Structure 1
Amino acid sequence: MPKPPTRTHALDNLRTSLTALVVLHHASIPYGGAGSWLYASRLYVPNSSPTIVAVFLWEKWRRLGVPTLVYSLVGKGLVRGIIAARLRDETWRGVGREVLEGVGSEKGVSGPMWYCAVLFIFDVAYAVLLPLHFARASTQKLLSSMPPNTAEPSSTVLKTTSEPRPFDTVLVLIALCLTSTSSFIIRLSYPVGTHLWPLSLQLAYTPQYTMYYIVGVYIHRTGYSLHTAISPRTLRIVGTITGVITVVGFVWIRALLDQGVVVAHVFPLASGGANFLALLYAFWNEFAGFVIASFLLRAFHDPNLGFLAKEWRVGGVEVEVAKYSYAAFLVHTPLLVDLQCLFSKWGLEDIGTVPSVLIVGILAVVESWLVGAMLKVSVEELGFKGYL
């Protein structure tokens, strides 16, 4: 067995940063923040040669299914209880009533757990449709096996004898165009903001999730490095197209405003329907997302930005920040709601929108990691290691 390579912390740090952005984005919503924050993640699964399908599915159920089930059962009730206690000064009986009503009214996946639910479904479909991917690969060597510490599967790394060439530019453009077109067609009937029960999934973005999951599997199985899979030339071309789409979009919006259309009626057009702005947004979302993701992956592997690739720890304390990213993601919603309620109750929102978002968001990030770390340690102490 070859010696396992030193683990890179670049992707751990990227995941940590994106988790913090989730909290900051959710902090901005009550204060008038807008935008379509997309949960980027490494949707790739391991070619687990010594692992049978049943074991793989059990691992995914523990890391994705169980947290989704638990959160969906109690999440809404917990948030309702917090609001009742903080804003309405309800008694313990009143808070308990709100919690029970929230638990009883919950039907389907709750809150941000749609991501885990969808990823679990993708993993199940992958295991069922392509079981041979879990057989021992005869043409590749198993280099390392690292137990995943989050919901993102990253336990096994396989490499071929040499680094594959970057994806062909034409193939990248075809994939982006097909995904954009599919998104536009879906949005004719299911515009952005329409959730599919019981997953709370927005069908408008399903083509994107599917494409990145499939590409992620392919990248992982063929030995690509995420930050070198796209050539600089491809990135320049996609970036240029993104810029053109952006300019055309602003020109089109300006034309609509000149025709007397009010702003409140312009932006909803982009969410879906048979109109040019919806078509532009469908393409812009895919192309811009591709460019942003590519730049982030390169930045977190850039030797000139070494701190992004080093293991992040809290000061001199031997605590790995990335280790608790998933737990922080799971607990951030009720903690954030609690902070927002307190901010409102104490009249601190008068300082303005941007300061409120920054202060509440930063506090929520710190609190989410602290509480998430305590939750993870407690769960593991009870004998449930591997669930968070």
Structure 2
Amino acid sequence: MNNMKKGDHKLIQALNRSKVLNKIRTEGPISRIDLAKKNNISPSTVASAVQELIKDGYVVEIGTGSSSGGRKPILLQFNPNNHYLFAVAITNSLIILAAMNLEASILKKATFPIDGLQGKELVERLLQLTDDFIRSYGGGGQCVGLSVTVPGIVSDTQGVVYYNTKLRMENVPLKRIMEEQYGLRVWVENDMNSVALAERRFGNYAYSNLIYISIGDGLGSGILINDTLLRGKHGGAGEFGHTSVNWNGIRCECGNIGCLDTSISWVAIYSRIITAIATGRPTLIQELSGGDYAKIDPSMYKEALRRGDRLAISINEEVAEHLGAGIVNLVNMFNPEALILGGEMALGNEELLAMVRNYIGRHAMPILANDMVFGLASLGGDDKLIGAAAVLLQDLFGFSLIESSI
């Protein structure tokens, strides 16, 4: 019984410390007395929590505030630079590594191509690159852990990549492998889930019900409901690219027919461009590539769009129709407050955004769509690294997403 009481006391202390840290992080500079009032806890509890946070380097005193009489209060501020974390973002084509501070700002970054590696060979390459990066990082401070994001079906609790069709990863216990390798605490999360969390925590979308959709070398989504990530039984919720929209379509690598992935991912669009060039259809993309079709990428496609290329415009319109149909299903099913469009194909593609918005307006249930915020992703090209940081930081500090929007 005494042990239980001791455990309860420690839990309450940890919760109070988390509350105090979050309030300092979101509303600092702030005084101890204001922390007590805003958290509805005693000044002595605040003083104890703050003493620990200063000792551990998470909080610093930065001067004095104004006073209505008596001694001026000392102000406290979150210190994100006394600790750091390692983030690893695996995409279907790249491994991106970074050291980041506790506000998800990048301190050092390196990017490497996957070069078609799959399965066991990919994991070996990942460990080699991570070894080199950790060894070469010379920043000061204390490391709080390593966070990895990867596309596919991922168990965040087990830290296992259950299934990724493009990378041929099946039942890979990444968390266990990397914790044994580095002696650090390791987090593993699906990349779309992590970016949804990051857009909520660090981006322009402070909504507790949001859906993030990414169009790149694959098509995925992260779904946040009442500030909780929708994961499903095996961590497979949000496989938006593998929802079927066309039973007369082509067979997808997942085994199904007519998946969205087969019509609007970059792989599908690239195939359409090459076919058009092969059949003699005039397009600026051929000129921009200089005849080297391996150089054709989403940025070249979007440049052709900006210059009014008919092929690029035609493909963009087709993508908008398919994507719009898929999004209307999500809007009608989940009624999100905000829906975010990201990934290489969407970044800077305002025409796509406008066409999809128009499609939603025409086809979604008006009561569900009329006041929904719909926009392009706000975190830029480092979104998956920021996502990895968001996963670790939320777990490490128990960051309240609601508090972060105050």
Is the strand fraction higher in 1 or 2? 2
TM-score normalised over the length of structure 2: 0.21
Relative contact order, higher structure (CA 8 A, sep 6+): 1
